[in-house]
Structure 1
């Protein structure tokens, strides 16, 4: 009995396994409304820490006794204090999130998407606290990583576990909501770094242009990754078709929404490209392709196995962003009443260009909070 720390990795597995538990979030109301731990069977309550300094008697009756209770705060200290107060007031065992919401933002969980022809495998890395999704294609002792985040340890551990050598690091576009780990991984493994040239006009480093109809082979079994130019979120956005089964859409198409065209300040210029990609280029593709986006926004987008994916045919039937018939209505939908832009998005863009060099601590702070790459659902 008493209090016990719980790691972000353990909490992520609970959420992805759809376990039933209770979260007491003691951050201030504004932080809580902006971004929180969410899950299908997660019950959550917000009570700011400063209201509990004199004791937890005011909330004792609202704390369930029939399920696990986890207290979270920004960096750990406040949640540890409140968990201790709850254990003393109510009795029983309480948990606090080790490292706070900072660690929640940075945890990556690999989930197998499926097998590929010839013995390859495709994995989705779910950054559940941030909504970022990245991918690893492995085959014949080789690997390609797509849209990796800066938290490279998760990928290197995965490569070691799978006994594969990274050969390709690919960014589908110049990211604005998180710092890419693509160049870092490419340098670590002497791999090729791929980036769409239309997004790379201001970068300060060398790269291999990711162009339409480029084919990247992974392993002896030739798991083909075919590039498909699909602008709209950025002018260079490029989708990838893997093994003629999976469509990696970057930030163009999500399971529950579509990409926003305004993060480089060119919404009016790029909205036409976005519509062309979604309503023409993608329409010509095999409707049985499984869409794998670079982000998700809601807990409902995760399936029972913790994956974010859906057939293209299904998205054309139910995704609102794919069913706006009038072009003018579409234009207004994706350029007006957009959600707030990502935290520090301009600095993040310049970091990914290689023109700004924030410290590790600054990078962490820049990425805190939800992703905002989609228009509102």
Structure 2
């Protein structure tokens, strides 16, 4: 009898629905501590599979019987074997189909708001990587912002909604994941925009994403706001006078890191100016939609990641450090490790390297690390 499999989509729904799940993660300790499936009601046991080859009897007392049980490994093979052992021991158990590789790839589209003239705004949540992409739909047209590399998801979603993708934007040159923006533009004939200050080494054609640029998607206006600090070209968007897409500058529980091009000391001043001056001039009622989330507590009940700008001014520590020197020290002294393969990812996003699918997957494995802790 085959052990049942849970898809990444099923696991994502259990996470966002706050279901009680116990995960036996059979990857090595370093991989588990670096990156795992997280959720408010998720409990864990990490035990490398090679320590279970002779049987699971020793860990049975640590496995609860009042929660659903899921076994996880890197690519699924080891988890199937261990799940079968647990089933033979009397447990009802499932394994994650495709392992953490599939978890890294799963994307869930969530509607976050209605826009002028019947338009809609969707957030595409990549739970396993903490990446957030967006699509604005209105009057038969669509714009995509900060798309990840799984371009079919955006192209197919637009087809389902009977809209044509006409504009594609990247808020900055990404360093933690491979952008799908240019590929979507090539597939659909859309115009692709990138901040020119981030694109000095880019080897493909693009339109300059400049401060004050206004683009119409049907009845909806998208306006660019230059907001450097994470990168020198980082640009935010005000959508329909109701939403602020902050890229990697401002998150729900943290702020962007300024060092992924090795220029933390140079860019920390730009980061402060953006957060403490440019954003302060905006309406508190704008709903902040970042390009990443760091912890599961940042997710709302519906699985979206969004919060009023005014609330962030009151609650986000990174927006409440009045002393300039203290801000500089806080930012530069609290940087997490660099994202996996970030230098190579930057090269890919510049168009200088075209890795195959397996190489792309390997480069993106692990958590995002775009925020100051």
Same fold judged by TM-score > 0.5?
yes
Task: Work out whether residues 21 and 67 of structure 1, in 8 Å CA contact, stay in contact via their aligned partners in 2.
Answer: yes
Of 248, 254, 264 in structure 1, the residue corresponding to residue 245 of structure 2 is 248
Could you tell me which residue of structure 2 aligns to residue 68 of structure 1?
68
Could you tell me which residue of structure 2 aligns to residue 260 of structure 1?
257
Kindly state the Cα deviation for residue 92 of structure 1 after the two structures are TM-superposed. 4.0
1:272 and 2:269 equivalent?
yes
1:285 and 2:282 equivalent?
yes
Could you tell me which residue of structure 2 aligns to residue 332 of structure 1?
329
Could you tell me which residue of structure 2 aligns to residue 159 of structure 1?
158
Kindly state the Cα deviation for residue 334 of structure 1 after the two structures are TM-superposed. 1.0
Could you tell me which residue of structure 1 aligns to residue 132 of structure 2?
133
Kindly state the Cα deviation for residue 271 of structure 1 after the two structures are TM-superposed. 0.5
Deviations 1:250-280 (A, max 9, x none): 0000000000000001111100000000000
SS at match of 2:132: strand
Could you tell me which residue of structure 1 aligns to residue 361 of structure 2?
364
2: CA distance between counterparts of 1:29 and 1:92?
Answer: 24
Of 331, 341, 346 in structure 1, the residue corresponding to residue 343 of structure 2 is 346
Kindly state the Cα deviation for residue 142 of structure 1 after the two structures are TM-superposed. 0.9
Supply the RMSD in Å over aligned alpha carbons.
0.9
* Correspondences of 1:7-26 after superposition (within 5 Å): 7-26=7-26
* Correspondences of 1:1-377 after superposition (within 5 Å): 3-89=3-89, 91-219=90-218, 222-376=219-373
2: CA distance between counterparts of 1:337 and 1:117?
Answer: 41
Task: Work out whether residues 297 and 371 of structure 1, in 8 Å CA contact, stay in contact via their aligned partners in 2.
Answer: yes
2: CA distance between counterparts of 1:161 and 1:24?
Answer: 37
2: CA distance between counterparts of 1:322 and 1:225?
Answer: 25
Deviations 1:262-311 (A, max 9, x none): 00011111000000000000000001100000000100000100000110
Task: Work out whether residues 173 and 196 of structure 1, in 8 Å CA contact, stay in contact via their aligned partners in 2.
Answer: yes
Deviations 1:111-147 (A, max 9, x none): 1101112100000000000000000100111110000
SS at match of 1:93: coil
Greater displacement, 269-278 / 36-45: 36-45
2: CA distance between counterparts of 1:369 and 1:68?
Answer: 25
Task: Work out whether residues 2 and 87 of structure 1, in 8 Å CA contact, stay in contact via their aligned partners in 2.
Answer: no
Deviations 1:193-213 (A, max 9, x none): 011111111101111111111
Kindly state the Cα deviation for residue 2 of structure 1 after the two structures are TM-superposed. 5.9
Task: Work out whether residues 35 and 370 of structure 1, in 8 Å CA contact, stay in contact via their aligned partners in 2.
Answer: yes
2: CA distance between counterparts of 1:337 and 1:114?
Answer: 34
Kindly state the Cα deviation for residue 357 of structure 1 after the two structures are TM-superposed. 1.6
